[in-house]
C-alpha cells in the first residue's frame, strides 16, 4: 500500500476525517465542519526522517510510517506500561527495533503518549489494523466533542 492508498481508505471508512500536511507529515484529523483550527489528530503518515525523529530510518527507499494514537487500555494490552518521555532528540526505551517493517510497535518518540507505528504496512496487515484505527478515530471524536461541546452525530463514533 502507498500512503495515498492508506489515506483514501481511512477517509472512506471514517466520518469527519480531514487530511492535512502538518509538522512535516500528513496528519489525519477528525474535524467535521472545520470547527477547530486543526481538529484532533489520530493518525499520521510520515515519509522521511525529521530532525528529532530518525529512529525508524524513514529515508530508506519506499519506507514510510503510519502512526496512530491508541487508547491507554489498548496500548497496555499490546505493549505493557508506557515508557518514560524521551529527552528532545531521543527515543523511548522499549527494546523494539524501530526499523522493523510491517510490524505494529510503539512509536519511537511518542510511545509515552500512547502512540504506535507500523512501517510500510502490507494491505493484509493494514486491514488487520483498521479496528485500531477505528478506535483511534473514536478517541479523536470524543476529544473533539469535549473541545467543541458538540454532541456526537449519529454514526461518528
Answer yes or no: are the C-beta atoms of 39 and 47 closer than 8 Å.
no
Distances (CA, A) of 99 to 12, 68, 105, 108, 120: 29, 17, 10, 10, 10
- Packing angle, helices 123-148 and 3-13, rounded to 10: 50
Answer yes or no: are the C-beta atoms of 48 and 62 closer than 8 Å.
no
Cα dihedral sign for 19, 21, 26, 27? negative
pLDDT in tens, the chain (157 residues): 999 999 999 999 999 999 998 777 899 999 999 999 889 999 999 999 988 889 999 999 999 999 999 999 999 999 999 999 999 889 999 999 999 999 999 999 999 999 999 999 999 999 999 999 999 999 999 999 999 986 666 666 5
pLDDT for 50 equals 86
pLDDT for 58 equals 96
Distance from CA of residue 123 to its chain's centroid? 17
C-alpha grid cell for residue 120?
510500510
C-alpha torsion angle, residues 141, 45, 72, 128 (rounded to 10): 90
Under 8 Å CB-to-CB from 131, ≥6 apart: which residues? none
Give the pTM: 0.91
pLDDT for 16 equals 97
Query: Which CATH class for the 3-148 domain?
Result: alpha beta
pLDDT for 102 equals 98
User: Residue 151: how many CA atoms within 13 Å on its side-chain side?
Assistant: 1
DSSP 72-102: HHHHHHHH-SPPPPPPTT----S---TT-BS
**Which spans in 14-122 are helix H?**
72-79
Q: Tell me 115's DSSP state.
A: E
Amino acid at each position: 500500500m502507498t500512503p495515498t492508498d492508506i489515506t483514501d481508505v481511512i477517509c472512506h471508512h471514517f466520518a469527519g476525517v480531514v487530511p492535512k500536511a502538518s509538522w512535516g507529515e500528513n496528519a489525519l484529523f477528525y474535524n467535521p465542519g472545520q470547527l477547530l483550527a486543526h481538529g484532533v489528530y489520530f493518525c499520521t503518515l510520515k515519509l522521511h526522517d525529521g530532525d528529532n525523529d530518525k529512529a525508524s530510518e524513514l529515508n530508506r527507499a519506499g519506507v514510510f510510517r503510519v502512526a496512530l494514537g491508541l487508547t491507554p487500555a489498548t496500548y497496555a494490552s499490546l505493549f505493557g506500561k508506557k515508557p518514560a518521555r524521551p529527552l528532545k532528540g531521543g527515543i523511548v526505551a522499549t527494546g523494539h527495533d524501530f526499523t522493523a517493517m510491517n510490524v505494529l510497535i510503539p512509536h519511537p518518540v511518542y510511545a509515552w503518549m500512547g502512540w504506535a507505528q507500523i512501517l510500510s504496512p502490507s494491505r493484509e496487515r493494514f486491514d488487520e489494523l483498521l479496528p485500531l484505527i477505528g478506535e483511534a478515530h473514536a478517541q479523536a471524536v470524543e476529544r473533539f466533542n469535549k473541545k467543541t461541546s458538540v454532541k456526537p452525530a449519529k454514526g461518528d463514533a
